[in-house]
Structure 1
Amino acid sequence: MSKIGMRNAWFQVHKWIGLILAVAIIPLSVTGAALVWDDALDHAINPQRYATSGSGLQPMQRYVASARGVLASGDRIASLALPAAAGEPVIVVASTASTAKRTAGPPPRKTVWIDPATAHVLDSAGSGGGLIRTFHMIHGSLLIPGVGRQVVGWIGVAMLLSCVSGLWLWWPTVGRWARGLRWRRHRNTDTNLHHLLGFWIALPLFVLSLTGAWISFPQVFGGAQGGAGGKPGARAGGQRPLPLATPKLALDAVIARGNAVSPGAITKVDWPTDQKPVWTLGIAHDARAVTVADADGAAKVVPEPREPLARTMRRIHDGTRMGLVWQIVIFLGGLLPAILAVTGIIMWWRSRGWRAQLKARQRARGEAVVLS
């Protein structure tokens, strides 16, 4: 195939990916950009959750008692996290009573925000509602039941092709590659925006598309993760780990045993589950954790587990603990594709107009030749 033929082929791929997927790309991009700052967004939308009265701490058992006051009778506490910074609340997460009846999918949970100084409940909410949760559902599945996650994954694959074809089309056909960085490559502002923004966002967008596809198809990348694929943490029947309804050890006893083997401020407690009947205690300023067996109270210090590749890919995708620079990059990587989709549609619509005019002039000339 000639160079011109190759360029035309890439142009068709790039054009039709953009036109067909524009309706999906815009909500995926906008929600992805917003979710980079989901903590700040939650502070703005739900200020009552962060209206703490001080930085003093109460015994953990008081927070558990306060949380149980707003939880249903069948709810099972899964974790308790103390504030990571001054002014932040204590957060208790519980699996809801309906979790035990589920057979697959993410378990419904309830989160309780508690004032650390007074143990007063500030707010509580289920995992299935709220604006931020809706953004997560749009970004993860486009609100399509059943196959939504796979649809989003294939959109990610298509975006990989769009990035590659876009770079091919951006490369100047005449002169050095630096000519492509000029602003005025075309007389129309939208076309110039499309060329220049597309170039600068191509590499970050390629990374975001790749990690998004990875998240959507964990079974495909199971070998790369060092496992057999599928959803990590799932039970044989597809169910998720379920916190024990009545652990044998009381929280106070667990904390005492944990402090006996590793003195230090405990920042988080994970309750034992039916898959792993072990309490896990996070220690401040320590990469290690303490586990306490619920059966016999045996406690030991364990090193921080190595982060699985799947979790690393998710952090790259959403910016968690990736630093401000990368968070800004992926925020722009969320907004700019929406702009590229809009400018691409404008360019396509304009081309339809001048192509129609060209055909009309050709027909007019042909008729004039026949008449003469």
Structure 2
Amino acid sequence: MSVRLPGSRWYNAVWRWHFYAGLFCVPFVLWLAVTGSIYAWRPQIEAWLDRPYDSLAPAAARASPEAIAAAAVAAVPGSRLHKYELPQSNRSAVRVLVGTDSGDRRVYVDPYRLTTLAIVTEDERPMQIVSHLHGELLAGAWGSYIVEIAACWTLVMILTGLYLWWPRGRKGLAGVLYPRLSGGRRLLWRDLHAVTGIWASLFALFVVTTGLPWAKAWGSYFKEIRTVTGTLDGPIDWTIGGRKASDDPMLGEHAGHMGMAMVHQGVRPGELNRAVVAATALHFAPPVLVSPPGKEPHGWTVTSDAGDRPLRAQAVVNGTTGAVLARKDFAERHWIDRAVGYGIATHEGQLFGIANQLLITLGALMLMILSVSGAISWWRRRPSGRLGAPLPLSRPRFGGALIAAIVALGVAMPLFGVSLLMVLLVERGLKSWSGIARWLGLRTVRA
């Protein structure tokens, strides 16, 4: 008669959930780790790509902002001025974003000769593509839903992995905090997976939770909750499902000057020049964008789009007088927006410079090792002709606390709740198909 250790049913049940969650999540974790680590180095990559436009030979006379904007608009027939970016040096081309029916174009203009150096579709810029690959798999809203479901199940994978990792009566730290190198390949891959998992778990929890505000379903859910609770402080400052709710998240009663869907009024002579002078005097963190008025006449919006989000600020300046009509810094935003802003800046590797980028890259590398070692461990131990899932023992009892925790997770992450119900229904249905159930490891072994 076989004897099972106390808690073996629970251990086996958790192991099964960890296995299935990992089987689904590993491809996405690898994808997000690779694309995320690339995106973390966005400033350096974009500086390298734009280097031909930032080494211009200055001439004696420099054209006015209005002349530069007019040259950019003329280079894209049927377009209108959308944003004028302040150049960061006297050797830099001026980036002007012009709006068209098919999306924005970024026009690089030599400010000394008024020649167009390049025209790039904004959504086709390399780092924009990487961002869409990372957040929505280049599949729009449906891609965002898939990434969000993978993120939710990654949390399940992490939590169940921590339960499996927890040392039960083991002496020493070998196999717990560092891998054992002398126990053979199978033990080495197991230890690499478990040890990397404990070191990567906090990082993974952080990147998943800070990434949820961008997701299509969770981000919209979060926004609705804030609307109902009265904690929404104007339009948000991040994209949801790859789409930005507004370009003007901070200015309260002056909001709307920079909305993507806003039809800008005709630019009046002299106003852009005065707005650029006023924007330069504000000394906002670069890149600094100046946008034409929306519904209100003469109100030009000045926005810092700094990657280090706590440095961001916005202002509205009067294009007729150059006076600052309103200003809102990051510190004046609602504490929830500030918390999300800090999280997103860290997630993107922009909060504390190159150390942040290295930390994100190291974390991504650990997630890759975790995923690959888990996949190799599964592949090496799987039985012939079967998927290799842990065989089910008699189902353990689910206490009220566990059920409440699962319900709470389902409420906090609706797509997790919906997908969990679907998984349980599919599992129940597949048990009646003996061949498939045997291959998947769904046949119950009596205690």
Q: Calculate the TM-score normalised by the size of structure 2.
A: 0.64
CA–CA distance in structure 1, aligned partners of residues 172 and 201 of structure 2: 15
Pair 1:246 & 2:266 matched: yes
Task: Please name the residue that 1:52 is paired with.
Answer: 56
* CA distances 1:237-259 after superposition (whole Å, capped 9, x unpaired): xx844351513463356338848
Encode CA deviations 1:313-359: one digit per residue, 9 max, x unaligned. Answer: 32232123333222222222223323322221111111114898xxx
Q: Would you say 1:206 and 2:205 are equivalent positions?
A: yes
Q: SS where residue 170 of structure 2 aligns?
A: coil
Task: Give 2:301's aligned residue.
Answer: 280
User: In the alignment, what sits opposite 2:189?
Assistant: 190
CA distances 1:147-206 after superposition (whole Å, capped 9, x unpaired):
111211121111112222222222222236844113207532433322222221111111
Is 2:351 the partner of 1:351?
Answer: no
Where structure 2 has 5 or more consecutive residues not aligned to the other structure, the ranges are: 248-254, 305-310, 387-447
Q: Which residue is equivalent to 2:251?
A: none
Contact 2:158 2:201 in 1 (8 A): yes
Task: State the identity %.
Answer: 20
SS at match of 1:219: helix
* Alignment partner, residue 215 of structure 1: 214
Provide the secondary structure at the position in 1 that maps to 2:95. Answer: strand
Structure 2 distance, partners of 1:17, 1:205, is: 15
Instruction: Give per-residue Cα distances to partners, 1:261-312, cap 9 Å, x unaligned.
Output: x9567874522353565213469xx987652346997643524253524444
1:147 alignment partner in structure 2: 142
Q: Does 1:270 align with 2:290?
A: yes
**2 CA distance for matches of 1:157 and 1:320?**
24
Q: Shift in Å at residue 71 of structure 1?
A: 2.4
State which drifts further: 158-167 or 178-187.
178-187
Q: What is the match of residue 82 of structure 1?
A: 87
Shift of 1:135: 1.5
- Superposed CA RMSD in Å reads 3.8
Q: Residue 26 of structure 2 aligns with which residue?
A: 22
**Does residue 291 of structure 1 match 2:316?**
yes
Task: Return closer, same or farther for 1:319/1:224 CA change in 2, 3 Å cut-off.
Answer: farther
Partner of 2:170: 175
Equivalent residues of 2:271, 2:320 under 8 A apart: no
1:143–1:299: structure 2 CA closer, same or farther, 3 Å change rule? closer
- Give the structure 2 partner of residue 36 of structure 1: 40
Secondary structure (helix, strand or coil) at the match of 1:182 reads: coil
Q: 2: CA distance between counterparts of 1:140 and 1:353? A: 36
Between the two proteins, the alignment pairs up a number of residues equal to 340
After TM superposition, the structure 1 stretch with the greater mean CA deviation from structure 2, 304-313 or 249-258, is 249-258
Q: Which amino acid aligns with 1:159?
A: T
Q: 1:65 aligns with which of 67, 70, 73?
A: 70
Distance change >3 Å, CA 58–CA 336, structure 1 → 2: farther
Note the C-alpha offset of 1:113. Answer: 2.9
CA contact (8 A) 1:75 1:96 kept: yes
Secondary structure in 2 aligned to 1:151?
Answer: helix
Q: 2:358 aligns with which of 328, 342, 345?
A: 328
The answer to whether the Cα contact below 8 Å between 1:36 and 1:330 also exists between their aligned partners in 2 is yes
Distance in structure 1 (CA, Å) of the matches to 2:199 and 2:277:
54
Bigger CA drift: 7-16 or 264-273? Answer: 264-273
Contact kept, 8 Å, 2:82 with 2:291, in 1: the verdict is yes
Structure 2: how far apart are the matches of 1:224 and 1:207? Answer: 21
The answer to whether the 8 A contact 1:211-1:313 is kept is yes
Query: Which gives a bigger RCO, structure 1 or 2 (Cα 8 Å, sep 6+)?
Result: 1
Distance in 1 (alpha carbons) for counterparts of 2:139 and 2:303? 37
Which amino acid in structure 2 is aligned with residue 291 of structure 1? V
What is the CA–CA distance in structure 2 between the aligned matches of 1:114 and 1:140, rounded to whole Å?
Answer: 31
Q: CA deviation at 1:46?
A: 5.2
The Cα of 1:55 is off from its aligned counterpart by 11
Residues 269, 181 of structure 1: CA spacing in aligned structure 2 closer, same or farther, 3 A cutoff? closer
Tell me the secondary structure at the aligned position of residue 107 of structure 2.
strand
**1:340 corresponding residue in structure 2:** 370
Q: Which residue of 1 aligns with 2:433?
A: none
Which stretch shifts more, 247-256 or 146-155? 247-256
Report the residue type matching 1:314 in the other structure: I
User: Is contact 1:51–1:122 with CA below 8 Å preserved after alignment?
Assistant: no
Contact (CA 8 Å) 1:241, 1:273: kept in 2 or not?
no
Match of 2:329, SS?
coil
In 1: Cα distance, 2:172 partner to 2:53 partner: 52
Contact kept? 2:302, 2:316, Cα under 8 Å:
yes
1: CA distance, partners of 2:173 / 2:33 = 28
Partner in structure 1 of residue 130 of structure 2: 135
1:199 and 1:165, CA in 2 relative to 1: closer, same or farther beyond 3 A? Answer: same
